[in-house]
Amino acid sequence: MPREYPEYPIVGISGVAIRNKKILLVKRKGEPGRGLWSLPGGAVEVGERLVDALKREMREETGLDCEVRDLVNIAEVIIRDDENRVKYHYILLDYLVDVTSNELKPSSDASDAGWFSYEEAKKLKLTPPTAKLLEKLRKLKLL
């Protein structure tokens, strides 16, 4: 199924990695959200378990391995074109993860990656779901 103008919503998975009160963010290479900062993640492939998809996406986008912990957020992204047709529709599942490796190197769909404090992250151009999640994490005292 195509990502643009899909027949059904696409399930996306994201990793919420927090270390020393800093969150791991990546700068998106592709649409939707090209050039914006967001959580590392991507689409779940048919037949792939959520945990396996998240581990794969973390490795592809950041070079980091992780252990998946708890679901912390569910978000929905619907982007319409000029004719009001649904161009993108994602259901995003955000999981807390523990990073188990240290060499951060963006690749695949990420043009950059880094660890940011809440204050630093708020100054970045964030995707709307990421901005909303930062506020939730702040209220939970995770950032």
39-50 pLDDT tens trace: 999 999 999 999
For residues 61 and 28, is the Cβ–Cβ distance under 8 A?
no
Q: Can you tell me the mean pLDDT for 73-95?
A: 96
4 in a domain, yes or no?
Answer: no
Which residue is listed with tokens 């993860």?
Answer: 97
Question: Has residue 120 got a pLDDT over 80?
Answer: yes
105 falls within a domain:
yes
- The answer to whether residue 98 is domain-embedded is yes
pLDDT band at 107 (very low <50, low <70, confident <90, very high): confident
Q: Is the pLDDT score of 122 beyond 90? A: yes
Confidence of residue 2 (pLDDT cuts 50, 70, 90): confident
**What integer pLDDT is reported at residue 32 of this predicted model?**
81
Give the mean pLDDT of the chain: 94
Whether residue 17 is contained in a domain is answered as: yes
> 1 pLDDT exceeds 80?
no
Residue 27 domain boundaries = 10-139
The answer to whether position 1 is within a domain reads: no
What is the arithmetic mean of pLDDT over 80-93?
96
The total of structural domains in the chain comes to: 1
CA distance 50 to 71: 11
pLDDT at 18: 96
CATH number at residue 59: 3.90.79.10
Residue 74 pLDDT > 80: yes
Give residue 31's pLDDT.
80
Res 88: pLDDT: 94
- Give domain status of residue 68, yes or no: yes
**Strand boundaries in the chain, DSSP class E:** 10-19, 22-28, 37-38, 41-43, 66-80, 86-99, 110-116
In sequence order, the β-bridge partners of residue 91 are 11, 76
Per-residue pLDDT tens digits for 125-139: 999 999 999 999 999
In a domain, 101, yes or no: yes
Residue 5 falls within a domain, yes or no?
Answer: no
